[in-house]
Structure 1
Amino acid sequence: MGKGDRRGSNGTEPVIIKKYANRRLYNTASSRYVTLEQLSEMVKSGEEFRVLDAKTDEDITRSVLTQIIFEEENKGQNLLPVNFLRQLIQMYGNALQPFVPSYLETAMETFLRNQET
């Protein structure tokens, strides 16, 4: 899903997940509470979703996705090398910071495309 694009990769509206003050996550499409692990499975299956703060309607998808990465890393699923994490942190406030997101996205898309061939 591109920046500002609210449609899923298949052109449908993403599922809305509401996050409540008690930290519970509610899938409005299935009318059920979900876990971070279930959201991780949704990502892996290509299902688009947005996470909104239930009180303010603020889009907190980035924060929740980061939390999923944190949980995966804590399980020993080390995908992000420590040196990369240090370099990423160093980019905050750097003059090149605005270019990093699109660079990382393009690099990952290229990597995945090369895996398909």
Structure 2
Amino acid sequence: MGATLDALFRLQTIENQLRSVREQIESRHRRVVGQTRRIATLEQQLNETRQSITKAQTEANSLELERKIHESHIVRLREALNQAKSNKEYAAILTQLNTDKADALKLEDKVLTAMG
């Protein structure tokens, strides 16, 4: 009878150890699943951030191109201002030049905002 009890006790000990190992496996599996979800979420956030950066760079490049176009127009107006033949023509060109300069400053602010 003693041998049977010893065998049953060892069996119970082994079953307890087995249950403990299975619980550890299940716990670690849950952690892996949780970490996998977290990785997926972080990858999605990374992709969204990359898209946002690309969009901002594209917008900044577009605004910078527009600013350069305005700048070249201002240069042409300055040349036209120097070649004006009458006070009326000079005043009209000067008004347009000042308006374009103000627009260029606003555009530069937009470029800086888009870049910053």
Give TM class, smaller chain.
under 0.3
TM-score by structure 2 length? 0.19
TM-score by structure 1 length? 0.19
Give 1 or 2 for the bigger CA radius of gyration: 2
Q: Which structure has the highest strand share of the two?
A: 1
Q: Which structure has the highest helix share of the two?
A: 2
